[in-house]
Structure 1
Amino acid sequence: MTQSVLQSIAAADLPERGQPLAGGTFVTRYWLNGQERALILMPDEFEGAWGKYGVKITGADSYSDGEANTRAMAEAGSEIAIKALELGAHIPSCLEGQLVMAAKADGLVTLREDRFHWMSSQFSADFAYSMVFEDGWLNTTVKDLERLVRPVRSLPIQ
């Protein structure tokens, strides 16, 4: 079921980092494609394969734009991408994953540290990026392995 989600937020309405916002926890402000945005970590967590080994997904190569990557993944049939979008969220890009890790390091969010989490950024036809939130280690992982997904939202700041 798709939930009603904020489409943007006024800068004056942003809470402090680590506080509730749009169904999740406000992580930070950042710039993406010339637009200042608010990054929100969602409480949902699920697992699955990123995609098929040996299949390069056109449009899922952005290091910074997780929503664009996730949409490209969903169009190619990725179950984890479809699930994230159904939640009104997306799989974080490498950049967004690092911003989430910074919020964890600052004590603002809690994340599982015992497993790797998928990032939406594709490395090649065989590998995509994953991160372990124990220490923020970014790695490439074979796409058809099961990993956790912790979706995020990114709202334009008006």
Structure 2
Amino acid sequence: MTQAAQQTIDAAELPERGQPLAGGIFVTRYWLNGEERALVLLDDELNGAWGEYGVKIPGADSYSDGEANTRALAEAGSEIAIKALELDAHIPSCLEGQLVMAAKADGLVTLREDRFHWLSTQYSADHAYDLDFEDGWLYDDGKDGERVVRPVRSLPIR
């Protein structure tokens, strides 16, 4: 397990978008479950399958809460989810992935364009969402396919 990451941030201490924060790059402010948060993209890159084709993972269906999805995936044995949590991070949800794409489009972060990136949001028992950071297209693909993950952190703003 890595050293514990920063857990919260004061609004007055937030840097400009695209600047370093909590071991990564500050992407944007957003609201999740009634709480304002800061989204941080890590430099780490993980590779692997989302999960097992044909198996629905309870609790991995949120379009906005990537941390909840990632915890559900880890409990089901997903290696990439476990690795993300070991970084004190999580696999982005559909919403968080789109926010990262917006930061890329604004020139604030650099992402691989040669591979699809897994998101933590499950589409069905057979498929999960992935994102093409070349053009921002959201797809669903077979869970057993190998994809890249760029973990994120979501810090509550005080």
**TM-score surpassing 0.5?**
yes
CA distance in 2, matches of 1:7, 1:78: 24
**Corresponding pairs, count:** 158
Could you list the runs of 5+ residues in structure 1 that have no partner in the other structure? none
Aligned to 2:79: 79
SS in 1 for 2:153: strand
Aligned to 1:110: 110
Q: Measure how far apart 1:126 and its partner are.
A: 0.2
Aligned to 1:90: 90
Could you list the runs of 5+ residues in structure 2 that have no partner in the other structure? none
Find out whether 1:146 has 2:143 as its counterpart.
no
Q: Measure how far apart 1:139 and its partner are.
A: 0.1
Q: Which TM-score applies when normalising by structure 2?
A: 0.99
SS in 2 for 1:98: helix
- Two-structure CA RMSD over aligned residues (Å): 0.4
Q: Measure how far apart 1:93 and its partner are.
A: 0.1
SS in 2 for 1:104: helix
Percent identity over the alignment is 80
Aligned to 1:42: 42
Aligned to 1:22: 22
Q: Measure how far apart 1:91 and its partner are.
A: 0.1
Q: Measure how far apart 1:111 and its partner are.
A: 0.2
Q: Measure how far apart 1:2 and its partner are.
A: 2.1
SS in 1 for 2:101: helix
